[in-house]
Chains A and B, each alone.
Chain A
Amino acid sequence: MKESTRGALVVTARTLVAALCVVVVVAVRTTVGWGSLAIMLCALLVLLGVLASYNRRFH
């Protein structure tokens, strides 16, 4: 696979995961409970993970 294609795929995947996390946070909020809160916190952690994975190559 070409380097540019791979790069584009990684960027698309990261964007999709980040968008999905935000959607999960918004959708799960309507249900009150510790389980929902845990899912929301997991989504927050995944968002931070996406940020860290983007940032890793600049270390």
Chain B
Amino acid sequence: MATTTSSPPSDTSAPARPAGRSARRRGDGRFVLACLLPALVLFVLFMVVPTVNVFRMSFYTWSGFSPDMRFVGFDNFTQLFEDAQFVRAFQNTVALLVVVTVVTMGMGLFLAAIMTRQRLRGRNFYRFVLYVPNVLSVVVIAAIFSAIYDQQNGLLNGTLRLLSLDGLQQVWLGDQDIVLWSVAIAMVWQSLGYYMVLYMSSMASIPEELYEASGLDGASPTRQFFSITLPLIWQNLRTTLTFFVMSAVNLSFVLVRAMTGGGPDGSSEVLLSYMYKQAYTNSSYGYGMAIGVVIFAFSFLVSLLVSRATRREPLQF
């Protein structure tokens, strides 16, 4: 009885409900689209269009100012093969990428582990001191290091003179063999604190019981670091490593530009500074964009490889 009386209303309402639901879903879709649209337009305008333009302009010869633009196909790219200065800039970029990444990540992890696991006196002060360079503008850091490296009145040569180590004095920003490493030290100093604080926050979230249990089993601090700390902060490490590869390329440009201008004799030139020089100083905009395409491909490839090499299942704790 109950079924016969209740079935007609459900029959009449059954077709109305899906229609209402689909209308609501459509409305939701429109709302989501309306919310996404401003960001999407900005992304296309300021990311997609300029990137496509870089690729397009690399096939042209253009001074950057005149209305004459000539299509030259792959000529700009073939020119790169004969350009020794481009090769040198590429080598410098790879060298900085490898050395600065290894040193920064290694020291960042080491210092973060010490600050988190060892009960150091005044560790907040050390953390503050190491983090300060990240707050400073890169140009200010370049100015500080230019003062430190100054040949006559610099802190470095002055200290060496004070310690009667005159033989170790160098022209830190004027010697072709060491200028790049002088820039590398500034790069490490600038980024070390930031990555150390990032790793410290990850390490602080690891439960203390894991260390206590492993300590009872006789694990040394080194073993604890490699078997507990490193696996549990791996996702963070992976992300920072991928980001660092890209940011190292950008950071090297600003520091080289502000500290050495690519000199002496182009020995500290990196890819981005060489691209900038060609595009805006040498009025070879198309050639500069061809270098830009190489930088894009290189950064993309290295980031992809780093991401693939470090991929693993996230651990839950």
Contacts and interface: CB of A to CB of B under 8 A. Distances in A.
A45 to B, nearest CB: 8
B309 A52 contact: yes
B98 A47 contact: yes
Contact of B94 (A18, A25, A51, A58): A25
A15 to B, nearest CB: 11
Interface in B166-181: 177, 180
B312 A59 contact: yes
Interface stretch (B24-32, B51-59, B277-285, B300-308): B300-308
Given A33-B87, A44-B302, A58-B231, A51 B95 contact: no
Given A40-B91, A48-B306, A25 B98 contact: yes
Interface size class of B (residues with CB under 8 A): 20 to 34
A37 B94 contact: yes
A43 to B, nearest CB: 7
B79 interface: no
B95 to A, nearest CB: 5
B99 A26 contact: yes
B309 A26 contact: no
Interface in A31-59: 32-34, 36-37, 40-41, 43-45, 47-49, 51-52, 55, 58-59
A26 B94 CA distance: 10
A48 B97 CA distance: 12
Interface string B78-99: 0001001001101110110111
A58 B92 contact: no
A44 B98 CA distance: 7
A13 interface: no
Interface of A: 18, 21-22, 25-26, 28-30, 32-34, 36-37, 40-41, 43-45, 47-49, 51-52, 55, 58-59
25 contacts: A21-B98, A22-B98, A25-B95, A28-B91, A29-B94, A29-B180, A32-B84, A32-B87, A33-B87, A34-B81, A34-B87, A40-B94, A40-B95, A43-B98, A44-B94, A44-B302, A47-B98, A48-B305, A48-B309, A51-B306, A55-B309, A55-B311, A59-B311, A59-B312, A59-B313
